[in-house]
Chain A
Amino acid sequence: MAAERAAAAIGVGGGLRAAPVFLADRPRLRRLADGLLPWLLPAALLALWVAGAERGWISPQVLPPPLFVYETLRDLAVSGDLWLNVSASLQRVLVGFAAGAFIGLALGSAMGLSRRFEAYVLPTFNALVQIPVLGWLPFVLLIVGIGEPLKYILIAKAAMVPVALNTLQGFRQTPVALREVGQVYGYSRRQQVLEIVLPHAVPTLFTGLRLGFTKAWLSLVVVELVASSEGLGYLIVYGRQLFQLDLVMAAVVVVGAIGYAIDRLLDALEAFAKRRQPGAAP
């Protein structure tokens, strides 16, 4: 049943279980048909889109023809504008994430290792966490203005929260059984932390970092939509204001593509990290 569970995510797993008769005896053809299934829906939508644009069902202001979007994307890439904005966005998310992750790890470990610290800090932390990034935006905006620090601070906040909480969880969740082994063999506090608590906490930590990066990317887009003069979010807003929806869609596509690439990268990293810790706590 493990294979079934692995395929439990959406979109994976054979769709042609009850195969039409003519496919039953042709496994290769069946695999081909099964591989084509996911493309049915996008193909249909694309066809609709093209038809709608051509027949003038929808005005190009509202929904530009796919070709426009492609050309715009190509022009952006060629002119270097795309790279300019992508790099601006990437820089922000990387700096913000690094800062947020660092603070999150520090806070989380401090709270995880020292009950006193946790008792003082955690309730306040919880309260501040309730306010979403967009809630913080006007506040930070008024204080530091509309420049880069605004983005860094907000993205850092977004990344910090899951990292800190997961780190705290990771440190807290060391099974008593393992800690008792440390006690029996006279582990010093330092040894306990470095050799028992920390290794056990690594998977949870990693989940936190993963979540943190996802949040950071999400916040980046939001913040750029509201308050920036370059970056992918800016492109979207700019295009919107000039009613150049082809630009908007091109930018959305790039946002999606980068988000997807990042996710896959994190997947691979996580698989690598988890390989060295089989059967660790999820």
Chain B
Amino acid sequence: MSGPRTASPSLDRAELAALQPLRPADGSRWRGLVLPIAAVFLWWALSRLDLVNSALLVSPGKVAATAWDQIATGRLWRALAASLAREATGFLIGTAAGLVLGALLGLSALANRIVGPSFNTFKQISLFAWIPLISVWFGLGDVAKVVFLSLAALVPVVVNTCDGIRTAPPALLEVARVYGYTRWQTVTEVILPAALPSIFTGVYLALIYSWLATIGAEYLLVAGRGIGNTLVEGSEHFQMDLVIFGMVVIGLVGWLMNALARRLERRLSRFR
């Protein structure tokens, strides 16, 4: 795919492809477990043998105990719920706004020309750099976080929706012309279905970016509860067990979201 870049849709697709866990060519599942099991064993051995004198080297047992504690007292669920609620809100707002803006930029060359370059410039700047400004304008709490998350979700949706619409196959558009499709019919029945795969790429990325942004927001806008806050707390109190636990949870949630999105993608690709 050629054309002007800067976080272009082709890069987005490459990024998405990079997110799909590649299966090892030799489908043996057991070999995949060797490394983690060995690592955990080594870890346990090190912590047992007191070779390293550091409060940081917590044993696997301790981590498990902390995990259990967090789950049993409900703290995990509360933190997760808070994070996910915020992410869902930001994701939905950002995706909805992104679809509208992306469709506008895709369908109207004029709008694209006026808004497009500014948008391109804006999305260049690392989103996280905006957080301090956002914190001044919106405070440190949930509102600021949701604003940030919406922006994180908005960008890939706009880019990919616009691209999908603009690259609707001209051959099919001619067919619509031949059969007297009105402009509205052409947009809703030809352009949008043709753009659907790209739109989905955008939404998929929005989901992932908003999750990453959620964690980031909890770091930098510390008011409130969330799984990111759990991590920060762990690091501030030198509680390695809490940190490891938090990392595992974050990884699991990320993986779950990926799996969900992939399932959805497969259903949408029935006709490809």
Contacts and interface: CB of A to CB of B under 8 A. Distances in A.
Interface of A: 1, 4-17, 34, 37-38, 40-42, 61-62, 115-116, 118-124, 126-132, 134-139, 141-143, 161-162, 165-166, 168-169, 172, 207-208, 210-211, 214, 217-218, 221-222, 225-226, 233, 236-237, 239-240, 243, 245, 248-249, 251-252, 255-256, 259-260, 263, 266-267, 270, 282
Given A15-B113, A136-B247, 16 more contacts: A9-B120, A10-B120, A11-B113, A11-B115, A38-B116, A38-B118, A41-B114, A118-B25, A119-B26, A119-B28, A143-B56, A211-B14, A214-B11, A221-B128, A225-B220, A259-B124
19 contacts: A5-B167, A10-B112, A11-B118, A116-B26, A122-B22, A122-B24, A123-B24, A134-B216, A135-B247, A139-B235, A168-B22, A208-B14, A218-B126, A218-B128, A225-B132, A237-B132, A239-B132, A256-B121, A259-B125
B4 A142 contact: no
B271 to A, nearest CB: 23
Contact of A252 (B9, B125, B234): B125
A142 B32 contact: no
B215 A132 contact: yes
A16 B17 CA distance: 36
B239 to A, nearest CB: 9
Contact of B22 (A17, A124, A128, A165): A165
A218 to B, nearest CB: 5
A16 B110 contact: yes
A282 B2 CA distance: 10
A236 B128 CA distance: 11
Interface string B232-251: 10110010100110110011
Contact of A263 (B9, B22, B124): B124
A135 B231 contact: yes
Interface residues of B, number: 86
Interface stretch (B77-85, B89-97, B133-141, B181-189): B133-141
A166 B14 contact: yes
B208 to A, nearest CB: 9
B247 A139 contact: yes
